[in-house]
Structure 1
Amino acid sequence: MREHRADYGFDGDYRVVPAPAVAAITATTCTALLLTAARLAPRHRLAALAVGATGAFMTITAAMFIRTTRIGKFEVWAQLLSGLGLRGDETVLDMGCGRGAVLLAAAKLLPRGRAIGVDIWRADQTHNAESNTRANAELEGVADRVELHTADMTNLPFPDDSVDVIVSSLAVHNIPGRPARAKAISEATRVLRPGGRLVVADLAETTSHVRQLRELGWNARRRNLGWRMWWGPGMSTHLVTATKPAAGGTAGIG
């Protein structure tokens, strides 16, 4: 795993309840459930088992979430980006870049290229804001090759066939409505150059993304990213990969 100097916060939607409050509520609830189970155990074993199992489940879920958002996703994306075999002069676009965890990791591999991030900067991560992403780029030493845009994934402000690689991490599922999510994938196919590669990790609708790409003649694939990208029991992340066909043909996976 590559070391990073910046703070990329915690994934999640904190528009209604701030992250510190979520952490406090979760910790208090887990502790209360486990203590209650201990008190019930001598006389009410079945009730103690049910309460204790609930507390244990919540505790495990919280631990998995924290590891994935602070460690696991960085490990996985370091491998994914390394596997692209970039020359270093490409243009890489991150759809829904947030505070730059994937965007800036890509930028480190592009000493002669550009890393472009787009987001609408809502609270899908703690303190998600363009200014924080720019500050992180400075801390990581890649500000000279990073470009940020406030833009919607369903209407990318870039010409057709203009970028070499598009990445997206846990972002497309945040778009309300299946038609809009499909539009985001369509926009990605539009701005990729022939031979360009698409790498999308997400929690939902990845099967639909693969179907959509295959209908366009792309040889798209989907796979589970494994335990390092689990957000809780049964909450896995899947990866969609594909390469844009050259004019008049289809292409394999990059």
Structure 2
Amino acid sequence: MSKNRDNSPPPRPRWPRYGVDAPAFPAVLGAAGTACCLAAGRWRPRRNAMATAGAVLLAGTGVYLHTTLHGKLRIWQRELDRAGLTGDERLLDLGCGRGAVLIEAARRLPRGQAVGVDLWSGEDQSGNRPEATLANAAAAGVADRVEVRTADMTELPFADDSFDVVTSALAIHNIPTSESRYRAVDEAMRVLRPGGQLIIADFWPMARKYAAHIGQGTLRGLGPGYWYSGPWLGVTLLHTVKKG
């Protein structure tokens, strides 16, 4: 058996690292929970109420971190499997961030291409920058089929009917006005070819509005694995096939 000449250990395999969604939110949630628990030990008149509030807030923090680090990844694996990709599609991911959905899609496209667009806001995802996305693609072994661009979802730099699938994971709601959010959905439909699939995951009130705006599609709750602290911030999937 051959040995490394300098006797150094073999390099550890690299794994994609996707960061934390809206990192300020769980930080504030956890801090508030901790503060309530500490106050419960000092404030006798409402000790039980403070302790309960602290426990709920800390539990919500744990649920949030599980979703952003593990739960959403497993759910997107399932949903991309359900999409029935044949491997040669061209897929666009809106608000790709550090590539959680983009890279999972690229794994299923050995003869295709996965393109991600983002404005790279660190408020929406920790460490959000194109270099991090490309590093994750390389770590996952799919760099040859992944492309990222800096682009606004409301003005996509692509021709009509140029993608077989368009995805978006909890990104469109970050656009500040409803008019602009609807424009992003319209842009997604514009670049999608007839017969192509639109797959959007967003908070349930938003997903319902997107479906109403385009007048088609099915809505399905994604369950506790996609809760951001609790069911009040649960995520719904909008799926539709563009009519010819």
TM-score by shorter chain over 0.5: yes
Residue aligning to 2:211? 210
Q: 1:135 to 1:210 in 2, by over 3 A?
A: same
Residue aligning to 2:219? 222
- What is the root-mean-square deviation of aligned Cα atoms in Å? 1.7
User: Counterparts of 1:156 and 1:27 in 2: how far apart (Å)?
Assistant: 37
User: Counterparts of 2:23 and 2:17 in 1: how far apart (Å)?
Assistant: 17
SS in 1 for 2:101: helix
Residue aligning to 2:5? none
Q: Unaligned 5+ residue runs, structure 1?
A: 247-254
Residue aligning to 1:102? 101
Contact in 1 for aligned 2:98/2:129 (Cα 8 Å): yes
Residue aligning to 1:252? none
Q: How many residues are aligned here?
A: 228
Query: Can you list the C-alpha shifts for 1:119-158, whole angstroms capped at 9, x where unaligned?
Result: 0111111010011111111111101000111000000111
Q: How far did residue 38 of structure 1 move?
A: 3.8
Contact in 1 for aligned 2:29/2:60 (Cα 8 Å): no
Q: How far did residue 226 of structure 1 move?
A: 0.5
Q: Does 1:235 align with 2:233?
A: yes
Greater CA drift, 200-209 or 174-183: 200-209
Q: How far did residue 30 of structure 1 move?
A: 2.5
SS in 2 for 1:50: helix
Contact in 1 for aligned 2:63/2:227 (Cα 8 Å): yes
Q: 1:37 to 1:153 in 2, by over 3 A?
A: same
Matches within 5 A, 1:115-194: 115-123=114-122, 124-194=124-194
The amino acid that maps onto 1:242 is T
Contact in 1 for aligned 2:30/2:57 (Cα 8 Å): no
Contact in 1 for aligned 2:22/2:125 (Cα 8 Å): yes
Q: How far did residue 182 of structure 1 move?
A: 0.2
The amino acid that maps onto 2:40 is A
Query: TM-score by structure 1 length?
Result: 0.85
Q: 1:89 to 1:27 in 2, by over 3 A?
A: same
Query: TM-score by structure 2 length?
Result: 0.89
The amino acid that maps onto 1:188 is A
Query: Can you list the C-alpha shifts for 1:200-231, whole angstroms capped at 9, x where unaligned?
Result: 001141111111121xxxx4111211010001
Query: Can you list the C-alpha shifts for 1:79-138, whole angstroms capped at 9, x where unaligned?
Result: 000011111000010000000000000000000000000001111110100111111111
Q: How far did residue 13 of structure 1 move?
A: 5.6
The amino acid that maps onto 1:5 is W
User: Counterparts of 2:182 and 2:194 in 1: how far apart (Å)?
Assistant: 20
SS in 2 for 1:208: helix
Residue aligning to 2:8? none
Q: How far did residue 53 of structure 1 move?
A: 1.8
Residue aligning to 2:59? 60
Residue aligning to 1:69? 68
SS in 1 for 2:233: coil
Identity %: 43
